[in-house]
Amino acid sequence: MSARVAVLVFPGTNSEDETVRALRAVGLDAALVHWSEPDALARFDAYVLPGGFAYEDRIRAGAVAAHDALMQPVIAAAQAGTFVLGICNGAQMLAEAGLVPGTGPVGRPTAAFAPNASGRFQAVHVHVRLAVPPERLPILAGLARGAVIPAWAAHGDGRLVAPPEELARIERDGHLAFVYADAAGEPVPAPNGAALDAAALCNPAGTVLAIMPHPERDAWTFQHLGADRADTHGDQARTLAPSGGIAFFAAFARALGVAVPA
Amino acid sequence: MSAVRTFTVHLTIPDNEAFTALETLARLGVPVDRVIRADVWQFELDGDAGDLAATIGSFETIFNPNKHRLQERSQERPEAGEVWIAVRDETPATRVAGRPIPGVRAIRRRTSWRLLDASGDDVPPDVRTRAVETFLCNPAFQVAIS
């Protein structure tokens, strides 16, 4: 039986369906769990916090959801080593909950995904490059060293901020999981002004990952921005073929024991 | 006249954000019975700003007469019992919604929180501190001013 993955839905979440679709495409048994069903979380093997605007991002992005009843079992499970993946708004929740970078007590954030340097919501196609050795991230298995994943950044609050000593710790201790890059993996400045050009952070064990761009929005070729998409015009089979972002979910599935080809 | 003028903007309709804060604080076990939130706008002047209150009143981004109450403060600091949350190392804005304000060279925005008990009095300082440290302020990029 495949690993069961809960995709959490808060009021204002808006990326749950494409996240479930990407997880199922790589063989995972993914299901939605709504904010009123915290008791349902016990039967899952891993958790994904998808993107959107939970509770309208009141107070701060992800702050209210981080303290929601639905998050309490997730936080407890994360502390016990269960894989937890947060994408965009989910990443903001994990930072607000103190699970990433996870260098302080739970519930006391040491970093944040703050408003973009531009002061605006930005939607832009990006690539992110694995910035730690693959073995540093047990939550993603089978990724090549320096793997590059295409994704869509779509957020108003994606700029990593932290005090200088915490940024130094993030870099030194391998919490900087992914950085913004070009398609060849060469470094590029973060579109949102993030410190360290960070696109994703992980916890000390590499079992909790918070990524700002959306790989599930570049999971099929019709979602991709590039020449390979243009070449598929009118070819339904190729348009609906997996795109680069699915590699991210394949790695997550392998980490959960699903035999996904590399 | 001070070189900095401070205004608060309160909602006159139900404040969902304050209500959400109240609910979350309750979940965190912080004993608060009522939350009052306001936007704080501080304008640093470099010339003749004219009737600044009237100018601000024309910026719907700041003030909408159908749902807001605008009030000028005599102090640049929070009142007793109030806490302001600001962005650490903030770069002040020079425009609002893309428009400069005549006579204004820098604009800072904070969020004012006032936490009350069942009697309508300010909660004790230790309760306010708990609220700030557990929820209202992310110290990674914000500071609490009281």
pTM listed for this prediction: 0.94
A 61-100: CB under 8 A from B = 63-64, 67-69, 95-96
pLDDT over 70 (residue A188): yes
The Cα–Cα gap between A173 and A168 comes to 8
pLDDT interval class at A231 (50, 70, 90): confident
Candidates B141, B142, B143, partner chain A, best to mutate (most A CBs within 10 A): B141
pLDDT interval class at A170 (50, 70, 90): very high
| Predicted pLDDT of residue A260 | 86
| Predicted pLDDT of residue A261 | 73
Asked if A58 and B138 come within 8 Å (Cβ–Cβ), the reply is: no
Mean pLDDT by 10 residues, chain B (146 residues): 86 97 97 98 91 90 94 94 94 89 94 98 98 97 96
B59 shares contact with chain A (CB less than 8 Å): no
| Predicted pLDDT of residue A136 | 98
Provide the token pair at A117: 């340097």
pLDDT tens-place string over residues A36-72: 999 999 999 999 999 999 999 999 999 999 999 999 9
- Amino acid making up residue A44: F
Q: Which of A88, A125, A127, A175 is catalytic?
A: A88
Provide the token pair at B40: 């704080």
Residue A214 annotated to the active site = yes
| Predicted pLDDT of residue B136 | 98
CB A178 within 8 A of CB A129: yes
Round the average pLDDT of chain A to a whole number and report it.
95
0.90 surpassed by complex ipTM: yes
**Cα angle value A193/A219/A227 (rounded, 5°):** 80
Residue A88 annotated to the active site = yes
pLDDT interval class at A227 (50, 70, 90): low
From residue A75, alpha-carbon distances to A11, A105, A249 in Å are: 19, 12, 21
* Number of domains chain B is built from: 1
| Predicted pLDDT of residue B120 | 97
Q: Considering only CB atoms, which chain B residues are within 8 Å of A109? A: 138-140
A107: left (phi over 0), alpha (psi -120 to 50) or beta: left
pLDDT tens-place string over residues A76-135: 999 999 999 999 999 999 999 999 999 999 999 999 999 999 989 999 999 999 999 999
The Cα–Cα gap between A139 and A254 comes to 9
Asked if A166 and B140 come within 8 Å (Cβ–Cβ), the reply is: yes
pLDDT tens-place string over residues A200-224: 999 999 999 999 999 999 998 888 8
Domain residues for B56? 4-145
Q: Considering only CB atoms, which chain B residues are within 8 Å of A69? A: 27
Report the chain A residue with the minimal C-alpha distance to residue B29.
A67
Asked if B16 and A111 come within 8 Å (Cβ–Cβ), the reply is: no
- Which spans in chain B are helix H? 16-27, 52-57, 125-131
Asked if B141 and A112 come within 8 Å (Cβ–Cβ), the reply is: yes
Q: Which of A127, A155, A175, A214 is catalytic?
A: A214
Stretch A166-185: mean pLDDT: 97
